Structure 1
Amino acid sequence: MTELARLKFYATQPHACSYLPRETATTLFLDPSQPMDSTLYAELSELGFRRSGDHLYRPHCQQCQACIPARIPVDLFCPTRGQQRIVRRNQDLKVTRQRPHLCDEYYALYERYINARHADGDMYPPNPDQFESFLVRDLPFAWFYEFRLEQQLVALAVCDVMPNGLSAVYTFFDPELDKRSLGRYAVLWQIAECQRLNLASLYLGYWIKDCRKMSYKREYRPLEVYVQQRWALMT
């Protein structure tokens, strides 16, 4: 176990919130000089931290506590009929694991996804440097999971493998294949992968009640949230 009390953390200056308009955000992040391994990552994930690029971070806003860490306890997960249909609809996809890297095929899919789904967000317009700094890190626990229909790449899930679970870092997919519900399927696949690896939880990052783009996380039940310094099932 890491002596967490010895770790150094830094807070950013207040900046515009990426999720809630007119709100100001502050982020707490681990000292970048601290070596990041899966054990430390797992311990901080239990305290609501998340990874972006080379940084482990957690919201640290003084006036707002809207960002709530969320995870799925996979042994308790019970898929709905709709989720079962999504799994059946995508049984023809093949999933393979790759080391994180930037290539033309990945970036082309990422660019199409951002342009179609997030043109109103702070990741628009996309560029290769952004892709690389956000998703391509040489970390032993970080992986790319390719979802292919025959030879066609239709989705890519960036996922971290920790001792206590998987962390769903980011997923992008073909925006023209709406009927497949590829974003939801990627979550369902990662739940099944947690179960296969005998890992306790799938970490989904932050849930924000008033953010429409976060609403899908409540579809996975039961959902645990980190409030008042402990994990509890959302009612």
Structure 2
Amino acid sequence: MRHTLPIAPQFYVTAPQPCPYLEGKMERKLFTALQGEGANQLNDSLSQQGFRRSQNVLYRPSCTDCAACLSARIDVSAFQPSKSQKRAVRRNSYLRRRANSPWATDEQYDLFRTYLDTRHADGGMADMDVFEFAAMIEETPIRSRVVEYSDPESGNLIAVSLTDVLDDGLSMVYSFYSPEQPQNSLGTYMILDHIDIAREAGLPYIYLGYWVPGSPKMGYKSRFAGLEVYSQGEWKRVKDPCDIAHDGHHPLSTAPIAEQVASIQLPDRHPTKG
């Protein structure tokens, strides 16, 4: 009987472009396609090594002269809410949560546009049209959910999170919400609610994407107890965010691409039986 060997993922590097978080810096990403029968296993494995999903691509920062972007996650067992986070839960306790299959709607897109136009009008997603939005939501080869939060009285959609279900946690791929209620801290509330969902499901982690110390856009992630960052090949507990913010990453801390790819642990593949 003829046997075929499994095809290992191929990794590529993007061309440098201006960093959206740190002025004067250039960003570069290491990425691979997410497809085929082993997509879930690959996503699980690489997420545990600091990668993030965008549609059918997994990527990780690989900048030549900066290592400020740190993949962040919350250890659910170590999390305890602060007083301000408890207030956020109380303010939003009226919302109704509903988890759906990854399907884009006009109502989602309207909220998304309002969110971008108010909060990120100069960001990289500012020009995203309805078709690109649908692709962001629907083009997923893995187990994903759209978690919606609505006002039960008006029926209005208030907040949305595109969330991947991993074997060890929930990955909040992208979230957006009504900017008309800044006092309600909806972004914080969605993370807190996902922590509750993970607890109920027995999942140990909430993956938050990248935290960039010193970037105001990312500061909220450092306010969660039990925060861990992926650095030098392992997850480390953040005891004091200020220690990391003043760490002063040296350019030589970024390994060459070949070394980065060689150190990536790929999921085990079952041998073909014949």
Q: 2:177, 2:187 within 8 Å by CA — same for their partners in 1?
A: yes
Corresponding residue to 2:66 among 64, 67, 70: 64
Could you tell me which residue of structure 2 aligns to residue 225 of structure 1? Answer: 229
139-148 vs 162-171, which deviates more? 139-148
Say whether residues 1:143 and 2:119 are aligned partners: no
Corresponding residue to 2:176 among 172, 177, 182: 172
Secondary structure in structure 2 of the residue aligned to 1:38: helix
50-59 vs 132-141, which deviates more? 132-141
RMSD across aligned positions (CA) = 1.7
Q: CA deviation at 1:114?
A: 0.3
Alpha-carbon distance in structure 2 between the residues aligned to 1:224 and 1:188? 16
Q: CA deviation at 1:138?
A: 4.0
Structure 1: gaps spanning 5 or more residues: none
Q: 2:71, 2:210 within 8 Å by CA — same for their partners in 1?
A: yes
Structure 2: gaps spanning 5 or more residues: 1-6, 240-274
Could you tell me which residue of structure 1 aligns to residue 187 of structure 2? Answer: 183
Please say which structure displays the higher CA radius of gyration. Answer: 2
Q: 1:87, 1:188 within 8 Å by CA — same for their partners in 2?
A: yes
Q: CA deviation at 1:91?
A: 1.2
Q: 1:115, 1:125 within 8 Å by CA — same for their partners in 2?
A: no
Could you tell me which residue of structure 2 aligns to residue 27 of structure 1? Answer: 29
Q: CA deviation at 1:103?
A: 1.7
Secondary structure in structure 1 of the residue aligned to 2:113: helix
Corresponding residue to 2:116 among 114, 117, 123: 114
Q: Please list the CA deviations of residues 128-161 of structure 1 after superposition, one character each: whole Å capped at 9, or x if unmatched.
A: 1231232322434111001011111100111000
AA paired with 1:12?
Answer: T
Alpha-carbon distance in structure 2 between the residues aligned to 1:93 and 1:16? 38
AA paired with 1:22?
Answer: G
Q: CA deviation at 1:32?
A: 5.0
Q: CA deviation at 1:76?
A: 0.7
Alpha-carbon distance in structure 2 between the residues aligned to 1:71 and 1:33? 24
Q: CA deviation at 1:7?
A: 2.8
Q: CA deviation at 1:198?
A: 0.4
Could you tell me which residue of structure 2 aligns to residue 88 of structure 1? Answer: 90
Secondary structure in structure 2 of the residue aligned to 1:51: strand
Q: Please list the CA deviations of residues 160-180 of structure 1 after superposition, one character each: whole Å capped at 9, or x if unmatched.
A: 001010001111111101222
Alpha-carbon distance in structure 1 between the residues aligned to 2:71 and 2:142? 24
AA paired with 1:119?
Answer: A
Could you tell me which residue of structure 2 aligns to residue 52 of structure 1? Answer: 54
TM-score, structure 2 length as denominator?
A: 0.80
**Bigger fraction of residues in strand:** 1
Could you tell me which residue of structure 1 aligns to residue 207 of structure 2? Answer: 203
Alpha-carbon distance in structure 1 between the residues aligned to 2:69 and 2:39? 25
Identity %: 37
Corresponding residue to 2:164 among 139, 143, 160: 160
Q: CA deviation at 1:35?
A: 4.9
Q: CA deviation at 1:33?
A: 5.3
Could you tell me which residue of structure 2 aligns to residue 193 of structure 1? Answer: 197
Q: CA deviation at 1:43?
A: 0.8
Aligned residue pairs: how many? 232
TM-score, structure 1 length as denominator?
A: 0.93
- Runs (4+) of structure 1 moved beyond 6 Å? none
Q: Please list the CA deviations of residues 191-213 of structure 1 after superposition, one character each: whole Å capped at 9, or x if unmatched.
A: 11111110010000111012110
Secondary structure in structure 1 of the residue aligned to 2:145: strand
Alpha-carbon distance in structure 2 between the residues aligned to 1:165 and 1:218? 19
Alpha-carbon distance in structure 1 between the residues aligned to 2:111 and 2:33? 33
Alpha-carbon distance in structure 2 between the residues aligned to 1:50 and 1:134? 13
